[in-house]
Chains A and B, each alone.
Chain A
Amino acid sequence: MLIRLFSMIFLFLCFAASSFAQGPDPKPLLNQLADANFSQAETLVGQIATIGDPRVVPALEAFAEGDLYFRKSDKAVFLAKAAGSQLELIDPVTGESAGQVAKGAVTKIRVNNNLRRAIRAALGGLTLMSPDRGVRLSAADSILRSPSAEALELVEAALAKETDAEVKARMEEARAVSLLSSDRSVDEKRAAIETISSLGGREAMRIFSTVSSSIDESLKPEVDKAIAKIQGQLQIWDLAQNVWYGMSLGSVLLLAAIGLAITFGVMGIINMAHGEMVMLGAYSTFMVQDVIRDNAPYLFDWSLAIALPVAFLVTGLVGFVIERGVIRFLYGRPLETLLATWGVSLILQQAIRTIFGPTNQEVGNPSWMSGSFPLGGMTITYNRMWIIVFSLTIFFTLLFVMKKTAYGLNMRAVTQNRRMASSMGIRTPWVDALTFALGSGIAGIAGVALSQIDNVSPNLGQSYIIDSFMVVVFGGVGNLWGTLVGALSLGILNKFLEPSVGAVLGKILVLVLIILFIQKRPRGLFALKGRAVEA
């Protein structure tokens, strides 16, 4: 049976070399399916494939799915699609509609698993020869995924004709994979193992583990060696993936904490309203997108870029008002800033809840934020990647502002020695207000980014506030670099704990570790030195 199929395919290859798509009409062969039994049908499928007419691909696919019917009156074979209570018949070769009939007028052509396998092989052959490059590539891929000895000859034949380098390489792999389960010589198989192990990845791993039981004894060690090698690679990729997830979490923490590193770290205000600034930033994004959707939908991909300055200004302004209205009366009483800002945060939350309602608001992802791409053995999603890039950009911009601009200099002077700065002519109240506004504005920008990965609800800020404080305290108050290192290391630590102990327990462990760490280094990872610390 199988041999017959092979000989048929071989025959087909002979012709195919000269010309395909011009063979005899496949229609009569298809029509013979109407009253063939399973083994006859298998032969017929082989013959149909031999003709090499790519037009029969839909019919064969439909056959495998069990959607091929014959008309009782004239035994003509059709594809059928449900159309109301009736069936719409479609010509198997041309794909044209052949009118509607009652369900009773046609009979389904039965299919079993053997037959499906034959159909798949036939389809593989047909598509491997397709003039369309993409189709050939995906055919090679499908063989790679489900290799079988039957496919081997097809692949080899196609390989001989292939000219495109990429498709050829893929077919080589497909050939190697199919070869392992065929009855070719040991030497050829050895070469195939080479090819597959250079392919690497989970695919190769799976192929080896399926063939390793059936392969010749003499090849066992080589397969084992190849498996060990791939396993090693996979472990490295797993590690890389974990680090990536950790960095991604760390960048979220960094985003959430970076504004706090200014208001709490530099100014010493226990700013419990920080989370609400993040939330206001996210709502600004929502508002911007809302306006864009109504007025200029073509700008949607730019919505985040537009939301950034808007969020910065809105939250910066709110921060300015909070500083002038409340916080400036509380300098030197850090624990009381905690209470007052907590009050502010409650008011802001309730205000948002009253205006927008307590439910989540829909914030869309622009097209460049969605999707993913593979990098070696791992998958990288665009939104995570952009958030990492974005958080680092904010961080370095802020660092630049703090270290290299006149304003940053004033700010550092005021926090280090307020009276001295004041007597040098710096308007300290103004600097305080601007610094708080800057910290709040940055929290707002973070909100724009976080709106892409989190639910935008009035409670958004609450979920970040404790993490943010942990990051700033862990990294060392008053030190931006500490915040960066703290955020990334906490993120990575979290992701490495997660697989072994679970997400919640991992988080608890991280919290406990931070508490213990604070005992050891009460001023955080990068403590400021000198007298300012004691103040």
Chain B
Amino acid sequence: MISGFILRALEGKIVIAAGILLAVAMLVPALNLLTPPDSAFHIPTYVMALMGKYLCYALLALALDLVWGYCGILSLGHGAFFALGGYAMGMYLMRQIGSRGTYGNPDLPDFMVFLNWKELPWFWYGFDMFPFAMLMVLVVPGLLAFFFGWFAFRSRVNGVYLSIITQAMTYALMLAFFRNDMGFGGNNGLTDFKDILGFQVQAGGTRAVLFAMSAIMLALCLIVASAITRSKFGKVLVGVRDAESRVRFLGFRVENIKLFTFVVSAMFAGIAGALFVPQVGIINPGEFAPANSIEVVVWTAVGGRGTLIGPIIGAILVNAGKSYFTGAFPEFWLFALGGLFIAVTLFLPKGIVGTIQHGWNARKALKAAAEAEKGRDAGTPPVTQQVQAAE
């Protein structure tokens, strides 16, 4: 059954996308590590770091697309799940610093010594163990999503209201994490990481592995997302998006369907955050800022929501544009981003991939219609049926 579930996920486009991601996961680190710096094929480390960051953002956008594009829940708080995953990873990395910090305390991170704390708070226990930390990367965002969603979906908070309370959630978390006595480093967040699993975070090899991991995780999550959306459950999910009441009247427990999707999506976001932190070397409460979460919505919208490849392409394109613009014309980045928001909502409501797909389908339908015209005498079924089949 499981294999059937996975196999169904492996539709043509997804296989290609996952294949490309895996190839990237091999090729980019290889080009970075194995080619000499003056070679035409060499990829500098900073470019690889940047691409790794984009892949994490792409995973975050994919996570949002799962709830927004397929379930109709516009979450303006996905940055919170991303940041929580990042903090879980950051806490592991902090514990790995050990006595190499400025204050040389083997147990307490520097900021706790600085704040005159005597012992490790209970919620930091276990984060010195990598498997536990990785579990937390999934569990913490998942739990938050579970409780939040459990309350919200059961009371049938939806549409605009849900968007606004998810925004309130990430805003409240941001304020909370800015507080020094929360025990997460306050304003400065967690930084100055040294080791991950005994390898130096800054070393070229580690960076290459982290990059490869980002690409592989993205491919993996893409396949999982594809498996979910292409299953029967996925069909119901789209039903919830398009006609929630009708699905409810058909006897489905809409709140459970939404809750499951929301939690899975939050976990994806957590994974993205966890991969993001060691690559950029810092996590601070700024990641919770509501503006960040809204930006994720734009990546997804640009790429095309309701398609799985779209958000990945959108996240990479917009962020590459951002890197270029903020370098070349820092003044104009916000103009460009703002204009992009407006242009996409007005002219490309389906996003890049959605529009291409739509055009593709329309062409296929036309072709099919033409063929049917030709073969009418041969007794083929009526055109309309074929058009529907093609779509």
Q: Which residues of A contact B (CB under 8 A)?
A: 268, 270, 272, 326, 329-330, 333-340, 342-347, 349-351, 353-354, 462, 466, 469-470, 473, 504-505, 507-508, 511-512, 514-516, 518-520, 522-523
Contacts and interface: CB of A to CB of B under 8 A. Distances in A.
B159 A350 contact: no
A270 B163 contact: yes
A20 B155 CA distance: 84
Given A349-B334, A519-B152, A335 B159 contact: yes
B334 A470 contact: no
Contacts of B157: 518-519, 522
Interface centre among A353, A504, A511 (most CB of B within 10 A): A511
Interface in B318-368: 331-335, 337-342, 344-346, 349
Given A340-B342, A346-B341, A516-B151, A504 B334 contact: no
Contact of B161 (A336, A342, A507, A518): A518
A354 B331 contact: yes
B168 A329 contact: no
A339 B298 contact: yes
Interface centre among B154, B165, B167, B301 (most CB of A within 10 A): B165
A330 B342 CA distance: 11
Contacts of B331: 350, 354
A473 B151 contact: no
A344 B342 contact: yes
B175 interface: yes
Contact of B160 (A334, A346, A347): A334
A342 B341 contact: yes
B38 to A, nearest CB: 40
Given A469-B167, A511-B171, A336 B345 contact: yes
A505 B179 contact: yes
Given A338-B74, A339-B344, A347 B164 contact: no
Interface centre among A330, A340, A351 (most CB of B within 10 A): A340
B168 to A, nearest CB: 5
A466 B165 contact: no
Contacts of A504: 175-176, 178-179
A466 B171 contact: yes
Contacts of A470: 164, 168
Contacts of A523: 161
B297 interface: yes
A343 B342 contact: yes
A527 to B, nearest CB: 11
A447 B342 CA distance: 25
Contacts of A354: 331
B167 A466 contact: yes
A518 B164 CA distance: 10
B74 A335 contact: yes
Interface in B240-266: none
Contacts of B290: 466
Given A342-B298, A514-B168, 10 more contacts: A326-B342, A347-B335, A349-B334, A466-B171, A507-B175, A508-B175, A508-B176, A512-B172, A514-B165, A515-B169
B171 A522 contact: no
A511 B172 CA distance: 6
A386 B354 CA distance: 53
Nearest to A346: B338
Contacts of B346: 326, 329-330, 340
A522 B337 contact: no
B69 to A, nearest CB: 12
A522 B148 CA distance: 14
Given A339-B341, A507-B175, A347 B334 contact: yes
Contacts of B155: 518-520, 522
A270 B345 CA distance: 14
Contacts of B176: 504-505, 508
B: contact size bracket = 35 or more
A473 B161 contact: yes
A81 to B, nearest CB: 49
Contacts of A335: 74, 159-160, 163
A518 B148 CA distance: 12
Contacts of B298: 339, 342
Given A335-B159, A340-B341, A520-B155, A350 B335 contact: yes
A511 B338 contact: no
Interface string B160-190: 1101110111011001101100000000000
B294 interface: yes
Report whether over half of chain A's contact residues are helix, strand or loop; otherwise say mixed.
helix
Nearest to A322: B342
B47 to A, nearest CB: 27
Contacts, number: 125
Contacts of B376: none
B235 interface: no
Interface centre among B178, B294, B331 (most CB of A within 10 A): B294
B300 to A, nearest CB: 10
Contacts of B74: 335, 338
A335 B69 CA distance: 12
Given A347-B335, A354-B331, A508-B175, A522 B344 contact: no
Nearest to A335: B74
Interface in B254-280: none
Contacts of B100: none
B301 A339 contact: yes
A337 B345 CA distance: 8
A330 B168 CA distance: 25
A469 B164 contact: yes
Contacts of A338: 74, 160, 163, 294, 297
A379 B145 CA distance: 46
A522 B294 contact: no
27 contacts: A270-B160, A330-B345, A335-B74, A336-B349, A339-B344, A340-B345, A342-B338, A343-B337, A343-B339, A344-B338, A344-B342, A346-B338, A350-B332, A466-B168, A466-B171, A466-B290, A469-B167, A504-B179, A507-B172, A507-B175, A511-B175, A515-B148, A515-B168, A515-B172, A518-B155, A518-B157, A520-B155
Nearest to A512: B172
A404 B156 CA distance: 35
Contacts of B148: 515
Interface centre among A350, A462, A520 (most CB of B within 10 A): A350
B310 to A, nearest CB: 15
Nearest to B301: A339
Nearest to B171: A466
Interface centre among B168, B169, B339 (most CB of A within 10 A): B168
Contacts of A330: 345-346
A272 B76 CA distance: 12
Nearest to B155: A519
A470 B76 CA distance: 14
Given A342-B294, A504-B178, A347 B167 contact: no
Interface centre among B169, B176, B345 (most CB of A within 10 A): B345
A466 B151 CA distance: 21
Interface centre among B169, B342, B349 (most CB of A within 10 A): B342
Contacts of B338: 342-347, 350
B171 A347 contact: no
A357 to B, nearest CB: 12
Contacts of B151: 515-516, 519
When A and B form their complex, which 10 residue pairs have the shortest distance between CB atoms, in order from nearest? A343-B341, A346-B338, A350-B334, A347-B338, A511-B172, A343-B338, A519-B155, A343-B342, A340-B345, A336-B345
Contacts of B345: 330, 336-337, 339-340, 343
Given A326-B342, A519-B151, A473 B164 contact: yes
Contacts of A340: 341-342, 345-346
Contacts of A272: 294
A346 B156 CA distance: 32
A347 B332 CA distance: 9
